[in-house]
A and B are shown apart, each in its own frame.
Chain A
Amino acid sequence: MRVSTITVADIDFVSDFSGALFWDEQRLLVVSDLHLEKGSSFAARGVLLPPYDTIATLSRLAAVIARHDPRMVIALGDSFHDRNAHERLSDTDRETLAALQVRRNWIWISGNHDPALPSDLGGVVATEVAIGPIKFRHEPTGASGEIAGHLHPKARVPTRGRSIERRCFASDRERAVMPAFGAYTGGLSIRDAAFAKIFGSSGFMAHVLGDNRVHAFAASRCY
Chain B
Amino acid sequence: MRSDLSPQAGRGGFEATASYSFNVPPSTKCLQPPTSWGVSTLDLFSVPPSETADLLPRRFRDWFASRGWSPRDHQLALLAKAREDRSALLIAPTGAGKTLAGFLPTLVELSGAGALPASASDQQRTSLLSTGRSVKRTGGLHTLYISPLKALAVDIARNLETPVAEMGLPIKIETRTGDTPVSRRQRQRRYPPDILLTTPEQLALLLASDDAPFLFASLKRIVLDELHALVTSKRGDLLSLGLARLWTIAPQMRAIGLSATVAEPEQLARFLVPQPGGESVSADVVIAGGAAPPVVEMLDTRERLPWSGHGARHALPEVYELIKRNKTTLVFVNTRSQAEMLFQDLWRINDDGLAIALHHGSLDVAQRRKVEEAMAAGKLRGVVCTSSLDLGVDWGDVDLVINIGAPKGSSRLMQRIGRANHRLDEASRAVLVPANRFEVLECAVAIEAIAENAQDTPPLRTGALDVLAQHVLGCACGEPFLPDELYAEVKTAAPYANLARTDFDDVVDFVATGGYALKTYERFARIKPNKQGRWRVANPKVRQSYRLNVGTIVEETMLKVRLVRSRAGGSGSTGAIARGGRMLGQIEEAFIEGLVVADTFVFGGEVVRYEALVEDQVYVSRANDKDAKVPSYMGGKFPLSTYLAERVRKLLDDVSAWNVLPDQVHDWLSLQRKFSRVPAARELLVETFPRGGSHYLVCYPFEGRLAHQTLGMLLTRRLERGRARPLGFVANEYALAVWGVGDLSFMIRHGKLDLNALFDPDMLGDDLEAWLAESALMKRTFRNCAIISGLIARRFTDEEKSRRQVLFSTDLIYDVLRKHQADHVLLRTARADAATGLLDLRRLGDMLSRIHGRITHKELDRVSPLAVPVLLEIGRESVYGEASDELLAEAAEELVREATT
Spell out A's residues near B (CB within 8 Å). 38, 40, 42-53, 55-56, 90, 156-166, 183-186, 191-193, 196, 208, 210-213, 215-218, 220-221, 223
Known contacts: A40-B520, A193-B574. The answer to whether A48 contacts B526 by CB under 8 A is yes
* Cβ-defined contact, B885 with A211, below 8 A: yes
* Cβ-defined contact, A210 with B816, below 8 A: no
For B545, what are the chain A residues with a Cβ–Cβ distance below 8 Å? 46
For A217, what are the chain B residues with a Cβ–Cβ distance below 8 Å? 891-892, 895
Q: Which of B188-196, B304-312, B454-462, B875-883 lies at the binding interface?
A: B875-883
Instruction: Select which of A44, A53, A220 is within 8 A of B571 by beta carbon.
Output: A220
* Central interface residue in B524, B807, B890, by most chain A CB within 10 Å: B524
Tally of B interface residues using CB under 8 Å? 50
**Contact bitstring B680-691, A, C-beta under 8 A = 1, else 0:** 000000000000
**Chain B proximity of A219: nearest CB distance (Å):** 10
Within B500-518, which residues are at the interface with A (CB < 8 Å)? 513-514, 516, 518
* Cβ-defined contact, A216 with B813, below 8 A: no
Q: Which of B41-49, B709-717, B818-826 lies at the binding interface?
A: B818-826
Known contacts: A156-B593, A164-B884, A192-B574. The answer to whether A51 contacts B526 by CB under 8 A is no
Within B817-837, which residues are at the interface with A (CB < 8 Å)? 817, 819-821, 824
**Chain A proximity of B407: nearest CB distance (Å):** 28
* Cβ-defined contact, A216 with B808, below 8 A: no
Q: In whole angstroms, what is the CA distance A52 to B816 when docked?
A: 7
Considering the complex, give the chain B residue whose CB is closest to the CB of A49: B813
Within B570-614, which residues are at the interface with A (CB < 8 Å)? 571-575, 593-594, 596-597
**Chain B proximity of A84: nearest CB distance (Å):** 13
Q: In whole angstroms, what is the CA distance A206 to B585 when docked?
A: 33
**Chain B proximity of A89: nearest CB distance (Å):** 11
Q: In whole angstroms, what is the CA distance A57 to B178 when docked?
A: 42
Q: In whole angstroms, what is the CA distance A216 to B893 when docked?
A: 10
Known contacts: A50-B821, A191-B572, A223-B572. The answer to whether A164 contacts B888 by CB under 8 A is yes
**Chain B proximity of A93: nearest CB distance (Å):** 11
Q: In whole angstroms, what is the CA distance A109 to B377 when docked?
A: 69
* Cβ-defined contact, A52 with B895, below 8 A: no
For A221, what are the chain B residues with a Cβ–Cβ distance below 8 Å? 895
For A210, what are the chain B residues with a Cβ–Cβ distance below 8 Å? 884-885, 888-889
For A90, what are the chain B residues with a Cβ–Cβ distance below 8 Å? 520
* Cβ-defined contact, A215 with B889, below 8 A: yes
* Cβ-defined contact, B824 with A50, below 8 A: yes
For B573, what are the chain A residues with a Cβ–Cβ distance below 8 Å? 191, 193, 196
Q: In whole angstroms, what is the CA distance A90 to B111 when docked?
A: 67
For A50, what are the chain B residues with a Cβ–Cβ distance below 8 Å? 514, 516, 813, 816-817, 820-821, 824
Known contacts: A46-B526, A46-B542. The answer to whether A216 contacts B892 by CB under 8 A is yes
* Cβ-defined contact, A211 with B884, below 8 A: yes
Instruction: Select which of B541, B805, B808, B891 is within 8 A of A157 by beta carbon.
Output: B891
Q: In whole angstroms, what is the CA distance A216 to B895 when docked?
A: 10
**Chain B proximity of A211: nearest CB distance (Å):** 5
Q: Across chains A and B, which 9 residue pairs bring their CB atoms closest together, nearest first?
A: A161-B878, A48-B514, A52-B820, A159-B887, A159-B891, A210-B885, A215-B888, A43-B524, A50-B817
* Cβ-defined contact, A208 with B820, below 8 A: no
For A158, what are the chain B residues with a Cβ–Cβ distance below 8 Å? 594, 596, 891
Q: Check if B366 is an interface residue, CB within 8 A of chain A.
A: no
**30 A-B residue contacts at CB 8 Å?**
A38-B808, A43-B514, A46-B524, A47-B791, A49-B813, A50-B821, A52-B516, A52-B518, A52-B819, A52-B820, A52-B821, A53-B816, A56-B820, A159-B887, A160-B878, A160-B879, A160-B890, A161-B878, A161-B879, A164-B884, A164-B888, A165-B593, A184-B808, A185-B812, A193-B575, A196-B573, A210-B884, A211-B883, A211-B884, A223-B572
Q: Check if B20 is an interface residue, CB within 8 A of chain A.
A: no
Q: In whole angstroms, what is the CA distance A186 to B810 when docked?
A: 10
For A184, what are the chain B residues with a Cβ–Cβ distance below 8 Å? 808-809, 812-813, 816
**Chain A proximity of B830: nearest CB distance (Å):** 13
**Chain A proximity of B543: nearest CB distance (Å):** 11
Q: In whole angstroms, what is the CA distance A184 to B813 when docked?
A: 7
For B879, what are the chain A residues with a Cβ–Cβ distance below 8 Å? 160-161
Q: Check if B851 is an interface residue, CB within 8 A of chain A.
A: no
* Cβ-defined contact, B594 with A163, below 8 A: yes
Q: Check if B521 is an interface residue, CB within 8 A of chain A.
A: yes
* Cβ-defined contact, A48 with B513, below 8 A: yes
**Chain B proximity of A33: nearest CB distance (Å):** 13
**Chain A proximity of B273: nearest CB distance (Å):** 36
**Chain A proximity of B801: nearest CB distance (Å):** 13
For B815, what are the chain A residues with a Cβ–Cβ distance below 8 Å? 56, 183
* Cβ-defined contact, B593 with A186, below 8 A: no
For B572, what are the chain A residues with a Cβ–Cβ distance below 8 Å? 191, 220, 223
